[in-house]
C-alpha cells in the first residue's frame, strides 16, 4: 500500500507534456557551465567540512573511553588540541563555502533573468497580447528562483547529505559493525515514510499556495476596483466572497498541517526506537562476542543516529524538489523557446532616413488564420501627405497602422516605405523613425519628464517642455506640486484619459519622427484642445507623412487622402472633395450624420 502511494500523488509534472526529463535537466545544468570550476571547488569544501564534522563523535568516543573513563591522561590533551584545531579549520571552511555558493547562485540568477528579459522584449505583439503580464512576471521571479535554488543550494545539500551518510556509516562500522547494522534497521522505514509523506506534503502546500494566489488576485482586483465596488454598493457581496476565498486557504492549510503534525513526531519516534534497540542489543551483548556497551559508544551512536536521520529526510525530499524544479524549468524554457513572429532578416539593412512614401501593395492580414482582417488593401501615400483612416470599429484601421510599424507581418502582399519592403529593414531602424500614439495611452511609473522623453532619453528639459506645450499638457503639468518631476502612478492613474493621451502625444512629438501615426489619439480630449493640437501638428508635420485614425470630421476633412475601410476592404479612396461627389457613398453618409448631429 505504501509503495502505491509513493507514485500516485505526484501530479505536478504531468500538467504540461514537457520534453523528456533528461533533456530539460541537461539544459538546466548548462546554466552552471560558466561557474563549473568554482562549483567543483565549492563542493569539495562541502565534502571536506562534512567529513571533518562527522569525525567529532568519533573523537569524543575516543576521549571518553580511552582517557576519561579509564582515567588515562596520556594523550588526552594532544587529542583535544587536535579536535579544536579541526573545528577551527571547519569553521573557516563553512565560511568560505557559504560565501562562494552565494556568489555562484546570484550569478546564475542574474544570467537567467537577463536572458529572459532580453528574450521577452524581443517577442512580438502576438505573444504579449496573448500572455498576461502576471504570468510572465512569475517566470522572472518565482520560477527563476526555483531553478537557481536547485542548481546551487539543493545540489550542495545533496552532495553534503550523501557524503555525510557515507562518512557516518563508515565511522559507525569502524566503531562496531554489528551495532551499525542494527541501528540501520529503521532506515528503510524512515525512507518509505519520507517518500510517502513528502510528495503529499508538497502537493498540500502547493494547494495552499494556489489558493493563496487566488486569494491575492481577488484582493488585488478588489483594491484596484474599489471605486466600482463602492459605486455599485457591492460591499456585502464582496465581503462574502472574501470570506469564501480566505476560508479555502485556511481549509487547505489545516489539511497539510494535520499531515505534517504527525509526520515529524513520527520521524522522531523512529529515531528514538533505533537508539533504544541499539542500546538494548549492546547492553545484552547479543552476538557481540564480548564487546560491551561503553559510554563513548553510547555518546557516539546517539550523535550518529541523529546525524543519519536528517540527511535521509532531506534526500527523500529531493524527489519533490526535482519535480518542482522540472515544472519551473519547463515553463521557463517554454518561454525562452517562444519565437518572435516578427524577426529581422539576417541581411536586413538599416532603414535610411525616411522621406515618407508609403505603399500598401495588395496587403492581406489575419490574426488567427481564419478571419481575414485586411483583404487586398492597396494605396499609396506620397511623402508629406496627411492620410485619414475612416471606418467603423473593427474595420481594420488600427491593423493598418500596426502593420506599417511592423508590429505584425502581412500575410499577403507587401508594405513599402521609400521603396523598401518593411521586412527587409531592421525593425528598430524602421520604428525609430515612426512616432506612434497608440489607442490606449500607456504611462510609465517614472517622472513626467522621463515619460515625455521616452523615445529620446537624451532630450533636454527645454525640448521636453516645448513638446509638452505643443501637446497642451504643459499647463496641467505645472499644476502638479512637483511639475515635470512629479512621479506618475501605476499606468498614470492620477491623470484623466484625456491627459494621458496628451502626454503620449508629447512623447511622440519629442521623438521627432519622419512618419507620425495617430490611432484615435485624441478621443478623450475636448474639442478646443484638440483643435490646438491639430494646429500644432500642422506646423510640425510639414514634409512629414502622417497617418491618422479618427472619428471626427474636423480632422478627416483636412487630409490629403481619405481611406474608407469596411470589414477589411477599402470601400472608398480619395480626398474630401472627391469623396463627397458620391452622395450614396459611406463617406457622404458619415458627413451628413455628423453635420445633422450638430443641429
Partner 1 sequence: MYRLFTFLKPHKTLLIQLIIVNFLLSAMLTVAPLVIKAIVDNVIGKQQFDRLAPYLGLLLLVTFLRASATYFYSYGQNKLGQLVMTDVRLALYRKLLALPFSFYDKEQTGRLMNRVSSDVESTRIFLSQILIESMSHFLTIFFAAFAFLEQDRYLTLIAIVPVIFSGVAMYYAHHHLTEPWTLQHERMAQMSATLQDNLAGIKVVKAFAQEDQAQGRFQDVQVAVRSGSLSITDLWSKRWALIGSIPRFMQLALILVGGQRVMRGEISLGTLVAVLSLSLLLLGAVNALGTQLNSVSQTATAAVRIFELLDEPLTIQSPLPSSDPVAAQSLPIARRVDEWRGEIEYKDVSFIYPTAKAKTLIDINLHIPAGSSLAVVGATGSGKSTLIHLIGRFYDPTSGHMQVDGRDVRSLNLPELRRQIGMVAQDTLLFSASIFDNIAFGRPDASQAEVERVAKLAQAHEFITQMPDGYQTLIGERGAGLSGGQRQRVAIARAMLLDPRILILDDSMSAVDAETEKLLQAAIASVMKGRTTILVAHRLATAQHADHIIVLRDGQIVEQGTHAELDAAGGHYHHVLEMQQMSAREAVASV
Q: Among residue numbers 205 through 224, which ones bind partner 1 (CB under 8 A)?
A: 216-217, 219-224
Angle ∠(158,162,166) on CA atoms, nearest 5: 170
Which phi and psi angles does 364 have, rounded to 5°? -115, 150
* 292 is a contact residue toward partner 1 (CB under 8 A): yes
In the region spanning residues 544 to 563, those forming contacts with partner 1, defined by CB under 8 A, are: 551-554, 557
Q: Does 98 bind partner 1 (CB under 8 A)?
A: yes
Using the Cα atoms of residue 475, residue 541, residue 389 and residue 454 in order, give the sign of their dihedral: negative
Instruction: Please list every residue from 36 through 55 that binds partner 1, using CB under 8 A.
Output: 53
- 492 vs 452: CA distance, rounded Å: 13
Q: Based on the shown chain and the rule CB under 8 A, indicate whether residue 487 belongs to the binding site for partner 1.
A: no
By CB under 8 A, is residue 564 in contact with partner 1? no
Residues in Cβ contact with 66 at an 8 Å cutoff, skipping those fewer than 6 apart = 72, 75, 296
2 versus 276: smaller Cβ distance to partner 1 = 276
User: For 595, what's the count of Cα atoms within 13 Å in the CB-facing half-sphere?
Assistant: 7
Assess 355 for contact with partner 1 (CB under 8 A): no
- Our finding on whether 244 is near partner 1 (CB under 8 A) is no
Query: Which member of 13, 32, 122, 187 binds partner 1 (CB under 8 A)?
Result: 122
Of residues 114, 56, 14, 596, the one with CA closest to residue 307: 56
Q: Does 490 bind partner 1 (CB under 8 A)?
A: yes
From residue 185, give the alpha-carbon distance in Å to each of 190, 350, 474. Answer: 9, 73, 81
Does 266 interact with partner 1 (rule: CB under 8 A)? Answer: yes
DSSP letters spanning 58-111? HHHHHIIIIIITTT--TTHHHHHHHHHHHHHHHHHHHHHHHHHHHHHHHHHHHH
Q: Can residue 334 be called a binding residue for partner 1 (CB under 8 A)?
A: no
Residue 401 CB, shortest distance to partner 1, in Å, is: 10
269 touches partner 1 (CB under 8 A):
yes
Site for partner 1 (CB under 8 A): which residue of 24, 42, 180, 294? 294
CA distance 555 to 530: 9
Does 396 contact partner 1 by CB under 8 A? no
- Assess 17 for contact with partner 1 (CB under 8 A): no
65-84 residues in contact with partner 1 (CB under 8 A) are 67-69, 71, 73, 76, 80, 83-84
* By CB under 8 A, residue 527 contacts partner 1: yes
Query: φ, ψ for residue 119 (rounded to 5)?
Result: -70, -45
In the set 153, 375, 447, 594, which binds partner 1 (CB under 8 A)?
594
348 with 425: CB under 8 angstroms? Answer: yes
Q: Where does this chain touch partner 1 (CB under 8 A) — which range of 23-31, 40-48, 283-291, 312-320?
A: 283-291
Give the list of residues 6+ apart from residue 126 with CB closer than 8 angstroms, or none.
Answer: 341, 367, 408
| Binding track over 416-455 against partner 1, x by CB under 8 A | -----------xxx-xx-xxx-xxx-x-xxx-------xx
- The vertex-574 CA angle with 366 and 554, nearest 5°, equals 95
List the one residue from 39, 50, 120, 335 that touches partner 1 (CB under 8 A).
Answer: 120
Set of cell numbers at residue 118: 532580453
Least distance in angstroms from the C-beta of 583 to partner 1: 6
d(CA 251, CA 199): 19
Interacting residues with partner 1 between 124 and 153 (CB under 8 A):
125, 128, 132-134, 136-137, 140-141
181 binds partner 1 (CB under 8 A): no
CA–CA distance, 354 with 168 (Å, rounded to integer): 75
**Of residues 306-325, those binding partner 1 (CB under 8 A):** none
Question: For 349, which DSSP code?
Answer: B
Asked if 268 touches partner 1 (CB under 8 A), the answer is: yes
With CB under 8 A as the contact rule, the residue among 50, 298, 400, 547 that binds partner 1 is 298
Q: How far is the CB of 40 from partner 1 (least distance, A)?
A: 20
Amino acid at each position: 500500500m505504501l509503495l502505491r502511494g509513493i507514485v500516485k500523488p505526484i501530479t505536478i509534472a504531468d500538467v504540461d507534456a514537457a520534453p523528456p526529463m533528461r533533456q530539460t535537466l541537461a539544459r538546466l545544468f548548462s546554466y552552471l557551465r560558466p561557474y563549473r570550476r568554482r562549483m567543483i571547488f565549492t563542493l569539495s569544501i562541502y565534502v571536506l567540512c562534512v567529513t571533518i564534522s562527522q569525525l567529532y563523535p568519533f573523537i569524543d568516543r575516543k576521549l571518553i573511553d580511552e582517557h576519561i573513563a579509564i582515567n588515562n591522561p596520556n594523550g588526552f590533551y594532544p587529542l583535544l588540541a587536535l579536535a579544536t584545531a579541526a573545528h577551527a579549520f571547519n569553521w573557516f571552511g563553512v565560511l568560505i563555502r557559504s560565501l562562494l555558493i552565494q556568489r555562484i547562485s546570484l550569478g546564475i540568477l542574474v544570467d537567467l533573468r537577463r536572458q529572459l528579459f532580453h528574450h521577452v522584449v524581443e517577442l512580438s505583439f502576438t505573444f504579449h497580447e496573448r500572455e498576461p503580464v502576471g504570468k510572465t512576471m512569475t517566470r522572472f521571479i518565482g520560477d527563476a528562483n526555483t531553478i537557481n535554488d536547485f542548481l546551487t543550494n539543493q545540489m550542495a545539500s545533496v552532495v553534503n547529505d550523501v557524503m555525510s551518510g557515507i562518512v557516518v556509516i563508515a565511522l559507525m562500522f569502524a566503531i562496531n559493525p554489528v551495532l551499525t547494522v542494527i541501528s540501520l534497521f529503521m532506515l528503510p522505514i524512515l525512507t518509505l515514510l519520507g517518500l510517502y509523506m513528502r510528495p503529499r506534503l508538497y502537493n498540500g502546500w502547493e494547494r495552499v499556495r494556489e489558493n493563496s494566489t487566488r486569494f491575492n488576485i481577488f484582493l488585488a482586483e478588489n483594491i484596484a476596483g474599489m471605486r466600482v465596488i463602492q459605486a455599485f454598493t457591492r460591499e456585502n457581496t464582496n465581503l462574502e466572497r472574501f470570506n469564501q476565498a480566505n476560508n479555502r486557504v485556511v481549509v487547505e492549510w489545516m489539511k497539510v498541517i494535520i499531515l505534517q503534525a504527525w509526520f515529524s513526531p513520527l520521524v522522531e519516534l523512529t529515531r528514538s526506537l533505533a537508539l533504544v534497540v541499539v542500546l538494548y542489543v549492546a547492553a545484552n551483548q547479543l552476538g557481540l562476542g564480548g564487546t560491551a556497551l561503553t559510554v563513548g559508544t553510547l555518546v557516539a551512536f546517539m550523535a550518529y543516529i541523529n546525524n543519519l536521520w536528517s540527511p535521509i529526510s532531506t534526500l527523500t525530499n529531493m524527489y519533490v524538489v526535482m519535480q518542482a524544479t522540472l515544472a519551473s524549468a519547463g515553463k521557463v524554457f517554454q518561454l525562452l523557446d517562444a519565437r518572435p513572429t516578427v524577426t529581422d532578416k539576417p541581411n536586413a539593412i538599416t532603414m535610411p532616413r525616411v522621406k515618407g512614401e508609403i505603399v500598401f501593395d495588395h496587403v492581406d492580414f489575419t490574426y488567427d488564420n481564419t478571419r481575414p482582417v485586411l483583404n487586398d488593401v492597396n494605396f499609396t501615400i506620397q511623402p508629406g501627405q496627411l492620410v485619414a483612416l475612416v471606418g467603423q470599429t473593427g474595420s481594420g484601421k488600427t491593423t493598418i497602422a500596426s502593420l506599417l510599424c511592423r508590429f505584425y507581418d502581412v500575410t499577403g502582399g507587401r508594405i513599402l516605405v521609400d521603396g523598401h519592403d518593411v521586412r527587409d529593414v531592421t525593425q528598430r531602424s524602421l520604428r525609430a523613425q515612426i512616432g506612434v500614439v497608440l489607442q490606449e495611452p500607456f504611462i510609465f511609473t517614472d517622472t513626467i519628464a522621463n515619460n515625455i522623453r521616452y523615445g529620446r532619453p537624451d532630450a533636454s528639459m527645454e525640448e521636453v517642455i516645448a513638446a509638452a506645450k505643443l501637446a497642451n499638457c504643459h499647463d496641467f503639468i505645472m499644476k502638479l506640486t512637483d511639475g515635470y518631476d512629479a512621479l506618475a502612478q501605476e499606468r498614470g492613474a492620477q491623470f484623466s484619459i484625456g491627459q494621458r493621451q496628451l502626454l503620449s502625444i508629447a512623447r511622440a512629438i519629442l521623438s521627432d519622427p519622419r512618419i507620425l501615426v495617430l490611432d484615435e489619439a485624441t478621443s478623450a480630449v475636448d474639442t478646443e484642445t484638440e483643435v490646438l493640437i491639430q494646429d500644432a501638428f500642422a506646423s510640425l508635420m510639414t514634409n512629414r507623412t502622417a497617418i491618422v485614425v479618427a472619428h471626427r470630421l474636423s480632422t478627416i476633412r483636412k487630409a490629403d487622402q481619405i481611406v474608407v475601410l469596411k470589414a477589411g476592404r477599402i470601400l472608398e479612396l480619395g480626398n474630401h472633395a472627391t469623396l463627397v461627389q458620391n452622395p450614396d457613398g459611406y463617406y457622404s453618409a458619415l458627413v451628413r450624420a455628423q453635420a445633422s448631429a450638430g443641429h
